[in-house]
Amino acid sequence: MEQNINKLIIEVRAGAGGDEAGIFAGDLVHMYQRYAQKKGWRFTELDSNQTTLDGYKSFVGKIEGPDVYTTLQQESGVHRVQRIPKTEKAGRVHTSTASVAILPVVDEREVEINPGDLEISFFRSSGPGGQNVNKVETAVRIVHKPTGVVVASQSERSQTANRENAMGVLRSRIFEAMKEQQVASMGALRKEQIGSNDRSEKIRTYNFPEDRITDHRFGAKVHNIEKVLEGELDALFNKMKK
């Protein structure tokens, strides 16, 4: 099975930690968006469920550019933040999580999907708080009945474009599931990228009191969290390669 290293689907979901988890998910989306801008990549939002505190319950997007998948594939997993939330009045440090999934974009020929297995519905695009932002039902939701996978796209102005985007996300998810099955058949079971979104299943910790980011897989540490969250990820990536 082939995949395009110059395109990827990114999914960010708030995990444990209530409102603060949503705010942190928003921070991660902004971080990858700014990094994409710095690299000259195209960053497109496909679907999102925003919170009223400038955060996200969930975010799905596409990033396109040279070697984008190779560069960002290691970002998949649970990211943990330790800081005093904006919503905390007593000044206590809280621990929250958000999960990131980096999925390859695959060609239609690589993943065959039976149209009869799809349940497609249309709805109006919504903004923060759930209010409808379009008067026309251009947003698309697709359910893949055999697997129960649900995808949606509401960023485009036409049903056709949103349906195409949603099908792309669906193919990427099914492709990943097929890879998981292949790995399992070889006796090398591994956990899903996102895990259970629990605080303990972490790949990276953003510790604000100590102004330090630690990648637990590579033992890499960098300081100046605010700079990294503004898209300066290469400092961390370079240490992860050593």
Q: Is 26 helix (H, G, I), strand (E, B) or coil?
A: helix
Distance, in Å, from the CA atom of 223 to the CA atom of 225, rounded to the nearest integer, reads 6
Backbone φ, ψ for residue 183 (5° rounding): -65, -40
CA distance 208 to 188: 36
pLDDT in tens, the chain (242 residues): 455 689 999 999 999 888 999 999 999 999 999 999 999 999 999 989 888 788 999 999 999 999 999 999 999 999 999 999 887 778 899 999 999 999 988 877 778 888 899 999 988 776 544 444 455 678 898 999 988 888 998 888 888 889 889 888 888 888 887 776 655 554 443 445 545 455 446 999 999 999 999 999 999 999 999 999 999 999 999 999 87
- Terminal-to-terminal C-alpha distance of the chain: 30
Strands 77-83 and 56-64 turn out to be: unpaired
**Three-class DSSP category at 194:** coil
Domain 115-185 = CATH 3.30.160.20? yes
Neighbouring CB atoms inside 10 A of 96's CB total 24
Query: Which CATH number describes the domain made up of 4-107+191-241?
Result: 3.30.70.1660
> Tokens in use for 170?
């669906």
- Give the domain ranges of the chain: 4-107+191-241, 115-185
pTM: 0.79
